[in-house]
Structure 1
């Protein structure tokens, strides 16, 4: 499982990529997990990297602080928000994940661009 690293309903809420392929400066990413298993002796051919098909919608504490690891103050319904608002979409190539925001609403997810990029960047290394 290479997702849900940053969202925990019991912890202080911050935004975070639901399934980062990379997370510079930390050991919390799909790549870090795969690398650790391979370094521990597991054959790369026995590893399956899972991607989620869901997202999280969070209420930003400050509309001007809308990137990854921004403080939040609550949750929202994703489909309802997207249908009613013109959210700004952001693809973050560093962590290979997406988010969108409008005002103080933030939604983290993976779309076809991030999933296909993850497969291109890391898939060949595992085969």
Structure 2
């Protein structure tokens, strides 16, 4: 048994739970488009490193190292990360960017947007669902925002259930749609987690 493997087993034995933050894989700290928390890799992910920057690979790593699945909580976001596209006509993964998206009225940080802020956006944003990565993004001109919604959260919870994980952790409560502006009642992300988590 390797020292690396022993470390994971020792760590798991001494912890009640392990919150695995499988998000923030991409963001304005890079110079290209990437979803902050894709469930699976894209066909455009070609390097070994690129293929690991997703929820499924992140969780599987801990399981492969011997972590008890019942101690693992899948990390979920109620926010997203965005970019200012270098070319508004090229919004594919790995398209060039020149910084983060415009700051939202509450988070007030370029490149970060709460789900509650997304729910307040005008209808001229175009919604796109990525069938490979199983996550959405929206675009308006040169602004590209990748985030989680009820559909992607449900799929992540179903993935967690399939791996017999212990539960979920959320970052953060204050950026869920607590006023119900997206039309699904207040706290749609949290309610989706509660509905589908075994």
TM bracket (short chain): 0.7 to 0.9
TM-score (norm 2): 0.56
Deviates more, 1:105-114 or 1:68-77: 68-77
Q: Deviations over 1:60-91 (max 9, x none)?
A: 111111122221113313448x6346110011
Structure 1 unmatched ranges of 5 or more: none
Local SS of the residue matching 1:116: helix
Equivalent of residue 22 in structure 1, options 20, 37, 40? 40
| Contact 1:60/1:72, CA 8 A, preserved across alignment | yes
Q: Name the count of aligned residue pairs.
A: 124
Structure 2 unmatched ranges of 5 or more: 1-20, 46-50, 105-116, 166-198
Equivalent of residue 67 in structure 1, options 92, 100, 122? 92
The residue that corresponds to 2:31 in the other structure is: 13
The residue that corresponds to 2:67 in the other structure is: 42
* CA RMSD, Structure 1 to Structure 2 (Å): 2.0
The aligned runs of 1:70-109 (5 Å cut-off) are: 70-74=95-99, 75-78=101-104, 79=117, 83-84=121-122, 86-109=124-147
Q: Larger C-alpha radius of gyration, 1 or 2?
A: 2
Give the Cα separation in 1 of the matches to 2:39 and 2:98.
Answer: 26
